Chain A
């Protein structure tokens, strides 16, 4: 598939950008011109070749640089990776799912040899060659979740299931949209969704929880979520709020196209077989407004969606300070023509 991994940064000089060939595979999350809240859960079945939905865990040109950024975050703040003691079986479940998926889907980059519990993992892009004993954590340089979490794009949390609830009892979270694992660890489904506006009243979380409690082995599901981020910064965590929140003040009508990024999360949910826990993958994608408008359909649709957001969501996603500038920037790209259904480019 000829992936060339970019050498780029998500902080300081922000050299991150999407190659022209990578733009059209961006998972644009708006399927119609009007913003409408929905749970939008669908089966996580293989999508079109080359799309971010082709495989369960998408590897793209940003892989190596994203993993470098994750290592920097973990070095500065080890609490971004935590697992409660009863989650060890689930950690191994996660490692197995990720290793077998990557080795199957990207054989040119990853190889897994298994002989009983004697495993041999090769990660060529990151130069990792590790022999270890499955289910024996002492044979890995990190606990299993952290070992594999340092090698896969996107954040991961693992939910234990008990008392008809899901509990966020483990995770490796370094590229989050303003939420904290250290704060949420040990919380249940309703608690960690506490800050979300409107959806509680609509009964969304009761329905979603009931659905997830019956999530089946081998039938993962996915949904898209989105927000906006100033600069292509992965680590917009509460822990580092002082480093990034003021970036919103730097947006001007002149730089809005380069600075404001649509941040899309492809969220996957997988039942883990040994532990009966649920793995939640949060795979983030960033694209600047000036790259978005290179796809005419997205240039038409994004201003229409942004204009129709309810005020509670503008507040929740902290878009207030620059939404009007973004709308003014996008306005020339909306010629009023109708758009086709679905999020993909025409």
Chain B
């Protein structure tokens, strides 16, 4: 039961919404209704970029109750993998793509008394659907959104006009920083905080929340990072006896798929735990890039999340 159900969609609209950020709107190729989703959900988009097969996760931004189309926003990052470059350069109105079903690893806590949303840059995207949902439920929320400049930050005007004083925007080009300590230091009991943005910002937020005494259960974060590149190495499959080479810019999962090996996966971002795989033997150092395994599990060297993690060099034998 690996992977998710795929459905074909057509790009109905592409709009440049900020520097290096485009918004894409997808409709079903047969105009059939899409599934409803819950605030904070994402989909994976399948991309045949040259000879490579990529499946990148993107947060859904539209209204969760809108089943006529899905919307995502993509930042064109100068990464070496080419997913966002593919979306920006090869995808236009009329392009057909395959997407997975919505999956939610970043839902608002239904019992929260209040929701504090902290976004940095493109990290605004999961909060678009989340705020739509919270607003519909008349839930108490506030957004703190850090952008480089108004030209770099997507949807600033829209958010301010729709949600008014609940939206706070901080412009780096004017020396404004999100006043995290003040925000997190003065919230009533039962408040939940959600962070999405660049890795350093997430770490800063989690650390600040911890220092201020926030319970772990009330602090949520989501980060979609591409599997970090490295050197080429060899994967041996204990059950089938096959051997697969993982190239420098591939994940183990992608290399397995390229070779027709059916391995379990879901989020492809190291968060959901679906692709957890037993390590039978390893003569290299494992770089754990996931957000799922606990520290003791990492130290044991017996498990690896194949969507994100790799070894520095050498070979690894997996129970597949």
Contact = CB atoms under 8 A, between A and B. Distances in A.
B258 interface: no
Given A161-B107, A273-B38, A214 B272 contact: yes
B111 A162 contact: yes
A218 B104 CA distance: 14
B181 to A, nearest CB: 25
B65 A276 contact: no
Interface string B91-115: 0000000000111100101110000
Contacts of B111: 86, 162
**Chain A contact residues, majority secondary structure:** loop
B49 to A, nearest CB: 25
Interface residues of B, number: 24
A345 B52 CA distance: 49
Contact of A276 (B1, B4, B104, B274): B104
Contacts of A160: 110
A274 B104 CA distance: 10
A185 B1 CA distance: 31
Contacts of B102: 217, 273
Interface in B165-184: none
A288 B266 CA distance: 43
Contact of B107 (A43, A210, A276): A276
Given A218-B35, A273-B36, A163 B274 contact: no
A162 B1 CA distance: 24
A114 to B, nearest CB: 10
B107 A274 contact: no
B112 to A, nearest CB: 9
A275 interface: yes
B200 to A, nearest CB: 25
B194 interface: no
A214 B266 contact: yes
Contacts of A89: 137
Contact of A218 (B5, B65, B107, B109): B5
B107 A214 contact: no
A219 interface: yes
A216 interface: yes
A273 B40 CA distance: 12
Contacts of B146: none
Of A89, A218, A276, most buried by chain B (CB within 10 Å of CB) is A276
A274 B102 CA distance: 10
Contacts of A273: 35-38, 102
Contact of B274 (A43, A161, A214, A217): A214
Contact of A275 (B38, B103, B109): B38
Interface string B271-313: 0111000000000000000000000000000000000000000
B217 interface: yes
Nearest to B218: A163
Contacts of A161: 107
Contacts of B65: 274
Interface string A220-238: 0000000000000000000
B123 interface: no
B120 interface: no
A274 B65 CA distance: 8
Contacts of A219: 1, 4-5, 101
Interface in A37-91: 43, 86, 89
A162 B109 CA distance: 6
B28 to A, nearest CB: 13
A173 to B, nearest CB: 21
A160 B108 CA distance: 12
B103 A216 contact: yes
Interface in A103-162: 160-162
A268 to B, nearest CB: 16
Interface string A272-315: 01111000000000000000000000000000000000000000
Contacts of A163: 109, 217
B313 to A, nearest CB: 31
A217 B217 contact: no
A104 to B, nearest CB: 14
A43 B1 contact: yes
A162 B101 contact: no
A213 B105 CA distance: 9
Nearest to B101: A217
A273 B35 CA distance: 7
A276 B38 contact: yes
Given A274-B37, A276-B107, A216 B217 contact: no
Interface of A: 43, 86, 89, 160-163, 210, 213-214, 216-219, 273-276
30 contacts: A161-B107, A162-B107, A162-B109, A162-B110, A162-B111, A163-B109, A210-B273, A213-B272, A213-B273, A214-B103, A214-B266, A214-B272, A214-B274, A216-B4, A216-B5, A216-B101, A216-B266, A217-B35, A217-B37, A217-B102, A217-B103, A218-B5, A219-B1, A219-B4, A273-B35, A273-B37, A274-B64, A274-B65, A276-B38, A276-B104
* List of 3 A-B pairs having minimum Cβ-Cβ separation, nearest first: A276-B38, A86-B110, A273-B36
Given A214-B274, A276-B38, A276-B104, 9 more contacts: A86-B111, A160-B110, A163-B109, A214-B266, A214-B273, A218-B5, A219-B101, A273-B38, A275-B38
